[in-house]
Structure 1
Amino acid sequence: MGRPNFLLFALISTLVLVVHSEDPYLFYTWNVSYATLSPLGVPQQVITINGQFPGPWINCTSNNNIVVNVFNNLDEPLLFTWNGIQQRKNSWQEGTLGTNCPIQPGTNFTYRFQVKDQIGSYYYYPTTALHRAAGGYGPLTVHSRDLIPVPFPWPEAEYNVLVGDWYSKGHASLKKFLDNGRSLGRPNGVIINGKHGKGDGTDEPMFTMKPKETYRYRFCNVGMKNSINVRIQGHTMKLVEIEGSHTVQNTYDSLDIHLGQCYSVLVTADQTPKDYYLVASTRFTKTVVTSTATIHYAGSNTPAAAALPEAPVGWAWSLNQFRSLRWNLTASAARPNPQGSYHYGKINITRTIKIVNSAGAVDGKLRYAVNGVSHTDPETPLKLAEYFGVADKVFKYDVIKDEPAENVGDKITIAPIVINGTFRNFVEIIFENHEKSVQSWHLSGYSFFPVAIEPGTWTPEKRKNYNLIDAVSRNTIQVYPKCWAAIMTTLDNAGMWNLRSVILERQYLGQQLYISVLSPARSLRDEYNLPEKMPLCGIVKNMPMPVPYSA
């Protein structure tokens, strides 16, 4: 009798281990609605989540499973994207119009994804219409697991700082401008965590610090058009993380944070106890717009000084800041490149794709383009068309060339843009900015290595200037006027992934594309099947389900 009991005990123990080996789940229920708020002192329609603007903080740990049930109480279709979360094998949860049918008004949809092998500072926002101009964004933080040490002492507390430019006109009015062929023009102000600080001593403190303690501030530029410079009156900032990567811990008086980017810094309350201003202002604009947030030293009653620290001038300073950023190669952390591509300097490039942004008119209306083509989202999401085997009825692959013609910006055509990527290829992407404004680009599904930004135009000889050792692994890159930028990444994440301008009007009017990375084996080891209850639309709405991927 002893042997069967032992086998039963062993079986039960194994089952318990299996059950408990799964990573933890975090559940969220979001009610997305309109509210009348006044971020710049003027009442306007703002998108709130559970009545909050900014939305709820998704505060999780590496490898956690995130479940977000979104109820759309707006009068328009809605999608959310998780800016910087790689969605390993799971572009079904990416939340863009190229991958998902939108959540219709009065319905709900549940996002399910895992923050696999990631840490860092991120944010989410709506991708449909011009909803980003109405808010709907919020912070998303991924902490290291307890067993993995971080390269600095645990701070007293941490603060999310979502900063960005803002328009006083509502999102519906702004959308009409773009639909009628007009530009949005200059934003009207800057807001910090949904509020515009006047810097006159009348605003309630937004953050509190105890004397001598150290705090972590996670800055994200969630704006629509402008780079932002942030600084703290009387204090320095020690940079410790950028978009999921621990950095060499340089100290800065101020930081340029370009559209879509997130920087994490440590600030020590080592000054005279009183109030101080956190200052955020636009960069590279004729008219500089500024906002403040009050940092209160606990126990003090002295207001902040009226004189605000000034931002640097010119983009050359910003370029030097970029060159000072280095990956901390000795820090223990989740590595978001399972193929070992963090040794990127030793991998042979298999493909070079050059991206040239341009602007022009099509039928008298403003459009923005990539290599002469302005992207449009068809009624059937690109990923669904591909999965159901009807891609040829919805789009054509490779309508843009890897090496665009010199006069590529002279004429613009409108079409869905899908680059046919090869699974596990190591690619180099070159962004050339021939315009007078700073551009910002985000790649979903991957982190990449920004190895160079330089003035002029790119040639293969420029590779000798690349940083092939410790470029910071991240997901967003800026490109200064009349400059180029080079990034490298391994296409090891099967799915349909969006490469987009983070400038809202440029993205909305066509400056984006998708990279299709298919698994030749059609294996669940490489990519998940279409989830159950995923909304279908367009020509695939009533089609029979394809044969699923196998193990």
Structure 2
Amino acid sequence: MASAVLVFLLCLTAGALTTVLGEDPYLFYTWNITYGTISPLGVPQQVILINGQFPGPTINSTTNNNVIVNVFNNIDEPFLLTWSGIQHRKNSWQDGVLGTMCPIAPGTNYTYHFQVKDQIGTYMYYPSTGLHRAAGAFGGLNVHSRSVIPIPYTLPLENDDFYVLINDWYTKSHSELRKLLDSGRTLARPQGVLINGQSGKTDGKGEPLFTLKPGRTYKFRICNPGLRTSLNFRIQGHNMKLVEMEGSHVVQNVYKSLDVHVGQCYSVLVKADQEPKDYYLVASSRFLKGEPLMATALIRYEGGKGPASPELPEGPVGWAWSLNQFRTFRWNLTASAARPNPQGSYHYGEINITQTYKFVSSANKVDGKLRYAINGVSHVNPTTPPKFAEYYEVPEKVFKYDVMSITPPAEKITQVTLDTNIRNVTFHDFIEIIFENPENTIQSWKVDGYSFFAVAIEPGTWTPEKRKNYNLQDAVSRHTIQVFPKSWAAILLTFDNAGMWNIRSEMTERTYLGQQLYISVYSPRRSLKEEYNLPDNAPLCGIVADMKKPEPYNL
């Protein structure tokens, strides 16, 4: 009897070890990138489809899953996808931007492999090359919490989880829009707004986008993958309880509407507690001159009778409203994140700032063509990705570090210089970044590879004395931040993720015309503990295409 018990215990132990030592689950996707013709605004136009879909398919993953996406490029231009908000720990090789990857050539494929390590939340993907974002190829990317980690609200049923992609839209093709920018012109005002690829009508007819059962609570994941337009989202007759944004559980305030700036994502809970009938989802433009652009989509109560009311809920006016809404966003310090430790255990407000970077946006013409810049430098992508040049230890043949000052002059920046804008930073430094917007239009900024603490947005210009207004206790950890006209925003983050990471304007026009830079978070140890090797399947380009690969990193 004793020996049988011993064998049983040994089996239990072996099973436990297998569970601990086994790899995290893998998710496999095969995506075909093709052109197609659809009419989102009633005008037939060329778009980019993924597996024939517009928008593209949604990736549903769980914390720590390995995501494998085999992308076949069947369009006539080089192509890349970037996974917005996914931190790619030690793995900027999978970031999907031209500073860290060679694009996927027409008629070839590339397999992305990344892990959603220690993350939860609502994210999205979109193209990063050649104005392709204007043609589609964007979609949702969910990272669900593991079942062993509690979340601070009752989780809706699996089929009660909806993705809502809201974005501005142009009726010109991406190649026509690119020609406009290459000629020195701007994109100007979009022609419309879409909800999940449709503009919608307000005649009460048509099929519902989603069907709700009375009394149930639903999660709506709302993302703005658009080109340049902030949008306000609201649901006719319903409140929205905000529960998560960009990977962080938040204090659960209730909102009638939410401003969703370019590149941002929110998760809200909506209870189907109204009269059973149809209602409208509404997305309308913000901060555009002229009448707001609008899209609608129907939601329908199961068994409901009656069309949606034609009286749509009005959107807010003015950017001060949006600023005040930002100030209501707070991190939920009592909730676990992707790990079973309290989010508030990281007291970011008590860490000494190592260095302050001040990024001032500007625009001017170079050789008669419009360029956007940061601190007077407008980024130019070289034919060799700078990350490849670093890995092959030939950066001096491709770019120079630190061509841009991080302390711009107090006077207005008027001159714009074209250069490859790479900033060399110290591993593990705790950094303060100030985004200053002297222009009359709203901006949105994105930091790849990291989440940061969005500690302040205020009107005017930044000075060190403004630090007394920072939220140093429960600012939300996120990866995008908007900057209102004639205003500034401050973020804090630790450069603890080795690699080369893109900081960019989320307005695609501005990114394409140079308003971006890369930070090289370099670890001199060249160790797998801090950064992965160049993937074996990575396409090579530029000067490294014919070079011998360096010795791989070891533990």
Shorter-chain TM band: over 0.9
How far did residue 451 of structure 1 move?
Answer: 0.3
Aligned pairs (5 A) from 1:351-390: 351-390=355-394
Aligned pairs (5 A) from 1:146-295: 146-156=147-157, 157-287=160-290, 288-295=292-299
How far did residue 344 of structure 1 move?
Answer: 0.7
Q: Is the 8 A contact 2:334 2:343 kept in 1?
A: no
Aligned pairs (5 A) from 1:72-471: 72-156=73-157, 157-287=160-290, 288-334=292-338, 342-407=346-411, 409-471=413-475
Q: Aligned pair 1:31/2:32, yes or no?
A: yes
* Structure 1 unpaired stretches of 5+: none
Normalized against structure 1, the TM-score is what? 0.96
CA RMSD of aligned residues (A): 2.0
Q: Partners of 2:491 and 2:207 in 1: how far apart?
A: 42
Q: Look up the equivalent residue of 1:126 and give its one-letter code.
A: P
Q: Is the 8 A contact 2:100 2:386 kept in 1?
A: yes
Deviates more, 1:154-163 or 1:125-134: 154-163
Aligned residue pairs, count: 546
**Partner in structure 2 of residue 487 of structure 1:** 491
3-state DSSP class of the match of 1:322?
helix
Q: Partners of 1:528 and 1:48 in 2: how far apart?
A: 31
- CA 1:271–1:517: 2 relative to 1, 3 Å: same
3-state DSSP class of the match of 2:478?
coil
How far did residue 101 of structure 1 move?
Answer: 0.3
Q: Is the 8 A contact 2:167 2:231 kept in 1?
A: yes
3-state DSSP class of the match of 2:123?
strand
3-state DSSP class of the match of 2:321?
helix
How far did residue 58 of structure 1 move?
Answer: 0.3
Deviating beyond 6 angstroms after TM superposition, the runs of 4 or more aligned structure 1 residues are 9-12, 336-341
How far did residue 228 of structure 1 move?
Answer: 0.4
* Structure 2 unpaired stretches of 5+: none
Q: Partners of 2:168 and 2:487 in 1: how far apart?
A: 24
How far did residue 12 of structure 1 move?
Answer: 11
**Partner in structure 1 of residue 530 of structure 2:** 526
3-state DSSP class of the match of 1:507?
helix
Q: Look up the equivalent residue of 1:415 and give its one-letter code.
A: D
Q: Partners of 1:338 and 1:69 in 2: how far apart?
A: 36
CA deviation vs aligned residue, 1:195-236 (integer Å, no higher than 9, x gap): 111222123110111111100000001111110000011111
| % identical equivalent positions | 66
Q: Look up the equivalent residue of 1:42 and give its one-letter code.
A: V
**Partner in structure 2 of residue 21 of structure 1:** 22
Q: Partners of 1:335 and 1:408 in 2: how far apart?
A: 45
Q: Is the 8 A contact 1:118 1:336 kept in 2?
A: no
Q: Look up the equivalent residue of 1:346 and give its one-letter code.
A: E
- CA 1:314–1:337: 2 relative to 1, 3 Å: farther
How far did residue 123 of structure 1 move?
Answer: 0.3
Q: Look up the equivalent residue of 2:113 and give its one-letter code.
A: R
Q: Partners of 2:20 and 2:74 in 1: how far apart?
A: 36
How far did residue 154 of structure 1 move?
Answer: 1.5
Normalized against structure 2, the TM-score is what? 0.96
3-state DSSP class of the match of 2:467?
helix
Q: Is the 8 A contact 1:199 1:291 kept in 2?
A: no
How far did residue 254 of structure 1 move?
Answer: 0.4
How far did residue 13 of structure 1 move?
Answer: 3.6
Q: Partners of 1:203 and 1:495 in 2: how far apart?
A: 48
- CA 1:338–1:325: 2 relative to 1, 3 Å: closer
3-state DSSP class of the match of 1:175?
helix
How far did residue 337 of structure 1 move?
Answer: 11
Q: Look up the equivalent residue of 2:510 and give its one-letter code.
A: R
Q: Partners of 2:235 and 2:187 in 1: how far apart?
A: 30
Q: Look up the equivalent residue of 2:281 and give its one-letter code.
A: L
- CA 1:337–1:478: 2 relative to 1, 3 Å: farther
How far did residue 407 of structure 1 move?
Answer: 3.9
